[in-house]
Amino acid sequence: MIVGLGNDIVDISRVDERLEKRILTEEERKNKKGKITKEYIAGRFALKESYFKALYTGISANSFQDISFLNRSDGSVFLMHHKYRPSKNGVYNFVYASLSHDSFAYATVLLEKIEGKVFIGIGTNLGKREENIQKAIEKLSEISKIVSISNVIETEPYGKTDQPAFLNCVVEIDTDLSPNALLEELLRIEKEMGRIRIEKWGPRIIDLDILFYGNLVLENEKLTVPHYDFENRIFFVKPMLEIAPDFVHPISLKTMSEIFDELISKNSDNNTHQLNKW
């Protein structure tokens, strides 16, 4: 369901380069190869205005610093949220942006809510591991609709290796919670199940990670989506391959099948074995 659509046109010749500090984020400055030009500023202004229009809020309720429009390696544009705001029509989990130039910058942003496509990674290596996963899935079902569940796999520890093996799976959910609200719910579930955060990569009774929220890209002090190290973690990639092989990573634009093949080619021993299906 389309929840927002915005368009904007900017006359490049009329752009004041002094607006750079107001319009561009630090990420956009780093992303630009070479000199910051009027064309670049105009393009980002048009994209951000289009996004604000798609929210049906306008610029008055937003800041140019809340979002960055960045270029992938192939030149295509994607939106990075530093602060996520739902459209007046509700939450969205997919964003599509286009930008073209001649003497004007033309931008379009479309916001869409597609059922499911929010993927949660579950891991545990303490206590009754299978019961931990089952309980976590039950708690997820209380805050969202479960769309699909991967098989459970057993994997060797990642990062800190002197600890018990993990059980992992991925659950696809449908939710009306915003990304940050979903994170708060996952942290609550972890706490209720006895998670104590002592050391990075240490043992844990339960671990819940937002791997993907549709094709959204988020970067703020509390949340990074897609998961920052997804493509190197077989215990995320293998379950994703099972339930969503054609799902596309929103930054690299690689499918789960492609990511899995690349990961296996780097490490022929994937150190996993399948246990069961919930």
Same domain for 104 and 230: no
Residue from 66, 209, 233, 269 carrying the catalytic annotation: 209
Query: Quick one: pLDDT at residue 276?
Result: 53
Residue tagged active-site, from 8, 129, 207, 233: 207
Q: Which is the catalytic residue, given 195, 229, 233, 246?
A: 195
Report residue 195's pLDDT band, with 50, 70 and 90 as the boundaries: confident
Residues above pLDDT 70, as percent of the chain: 93
Q: 61 and 191, same structural domain? A: no
Q: What percent of the chain has pLDDT over 90?
A: 84
> Cα angle at 145 between 143 and 146, to 5 degrees?
115
CA distance 199 to 266: 28
In this predicted structure, the answer to whether residue 42 has a pLDDT above a threshold of 80 is: yes
Are the CB atoms for 204 and 126 separated by under 8 Å?
yes
**Is 204 tagged catalytic?**
yes
Active site residue 195: yes
pLDDT at position 108 over 90: yes
Determine if the peptide bond prior to 164 is cis (ω within 30°): no
Residue 38 confidence (pLDDT) above 90: yes
Q: Same domain for 123 and 218?
A: yes
pLDDT reported for residue 201: 61
**Number of compact structural domains in the chain:** 2
| Residue where a domain terminates, one of 87, 112, 137 | 112
229 is catalytic: no
Q: Are strands 207-213 and 67-71 parallel, antiparallel or unpaired?
A: unpaired
Q: Is the pLDDT of residue 273 over 70?
A: no
Between 266 and 121, whose confidence is greater? 121
Specify the DSSP element, H or E, that contains 174: strand 166-174
Contact 227, 235 (CB under 8 A): no
User: Taking residues 158-173, what's their average pLDDT?
Assistant: 86
Same domain for 272 and 138: yes
Q: Average pLDDT, stretch 121-138?
A: 96
pLDDT in tens, 220-238: 999 999 999 999 999 999 9
Task: Please tell me the predicted confidence (pLDDT) of residue 154.
Answer: 95
Measure the CA–CA gap between 212 and 250, rounded to whole angstroms: 9
Structural domain ending residue among the three candidates 77, 112, 147: 112
Domain co-membership, 262 together with 180: yes
The answer on 250 and 206 residing in a single domain is yes
Cα distances (Å, whole numbers) of residue 35 to 28, 29, 106, 193:
12, 9, 21, 51
**If pLDDT is split at 50, 70 and 90, which confidence band does 112 have?**
very high
Annotation marks residue 207 as catalytic: yes
- In the structure encoding, which two tokens stand for residue 59, read together? 């610029």
Confidence at residue 266, expressed as pLDDT on a 0 to 100 scale: 82
Shared-domain flag, residues 97 and 217: no
Is residue 132 domain-shared with residue 69, that is, in the same domain?
no
Q: Within this chain, do residues 189 and 168 fall inside the same structural domain, yes or no?
A: yes
Tens of pLDDT along 153-162?
A: 999 887 666 6
C-alpha dist (Å) from residue 148 to 118, 204, 216, 245: 10, 24, 20, 13
pLDDT band, residue 271 (cuts 50/70/90) = low
Residues 166 and 63 placed together within one structural domain of the fold: no
* CATH code of residue 93: 3.90.470.20
Question: Does residue 210 or residue 62 have the better pLDDT?
Answer: 210
- Pairing between strand 145-149 and 104-112? unpaired
State whether 174 and 54 are in the same domain.
no
Residue where a domain stops, chosen among 63, 79, 112: 112
What's the angle, vertex CA 98, arms to CA 94 and CA 104, rounded to 5? Answer: 150
Q: Look at residue 270 in the predicted model and tell me its pLDDT.
A: 57
Mean pLDDT of the chain: 93
Same domain, 98 and 126: no
Q: Alpha-carbon distance 88 to 54, whole Å?
A: 9
Structural domain of 34:
2-112
Out of 8, 44, 129, 204, the active site residue is: 204
CATH classification of the domain holding 145: 3.30.70.560
Q: Using alpha carbons, select from 237, 27, 266, 38 the residue that is nearest to residue 153.
A: 237
State the average pLDDT over residues 234-255: 97
The CA-CA-CA angle for residues 83, 86, 89, to 5°, reads 165
